[in-house]
A and B are shown apart, each in its own frame.
Chain A
Amino acid sequence: EVQLLESGGGLVQPGGSLRLSCAASGFTFNIYDMTWVRQAPGKGLEWVSSIRANGVETFYADSVKGRFTVSRDNSKNILYLQMNALRAEDTAIYYCANGLRAIGDWGQGTLVTVSS
């Protein structure tokens, strides 16, 4: 059974940083592209970032480019999202998912709240 377990969310002040993690199991992590999607409270889904299976190629939404960095550790089956210079508008549930052009399985999400 595929499992994606996000962690690292919490309350942070504007301008602060957080690192999200997504522990993957139940599938061959190192051959899957991976994706982060977020959902602001009461709103729809927004793609944030993706990374190729080998970790070499990364992609970002304009809204987070230069502030967020996606990475992965294929030896540990973990996906990361380093979030810097956080803004109020980054407040959302952050989901990790496997796949890229056809995002497949999703985690349960981790809530990030940016507020003073």
Chain B
Amino acid sequence: DVVMTQSPLSLPVTLGQPASISCRSSQSLVYSDGNTYLNWFQQRPGQSPRRLIYMVSNRDSGVPDRFSGGGSGTDFTLKISRVEAEDVGVYYCMQGTHWPLTFGGGTKVEIK
């Protein structure tokens, strides 16, 4: 199975400051069709997960532009340019390239 390793586990951030979450996969996530199926999800407290970013860097409709995704191969990053109070929650990366589909362990973003 492809192991998805996120860091840090916990990320205390000051409001208005940037934040960055790393996600590393144990194998390349480039699929045979040339796409890289690396997605990012946000789960606010008490809510269902919500997709923020698909295929590395494509922001979903309605997602603020302070969220951005990047990376390639086995090394990926989710960045928040200026953290707001509503960004508190757990963030997960997920790979859809290899079976079984696998998620990272999650990064908890909290306000300092």
Contact = CB atoms under 8 A, between A and B. Distances in A.
Interface residues of B, number: 26
Contacts of A46: 103
B50 interface: yes
A103 B99 contact: no
Given A102-B37, A102-B55, A61 B100 contact: yes
A55 B96 CA distance: 19
Interface string B25-69: 000000100010101010100001111001100001000000000
A26 interface: no
Given A47-B100, A50-B101, A61-B100, A103 B94 contact: yes
B94 A45 contact: yes
A4 to B, nearest CB: 9
Interface stretch (A66-74, A75-83, A106-114): A106-114
B97 interface: yes
Contacts of A40: none
A108 to B, nearest CB: 5
Nearest to A35: B101
Interface string A94-116: 01000011111111110000000
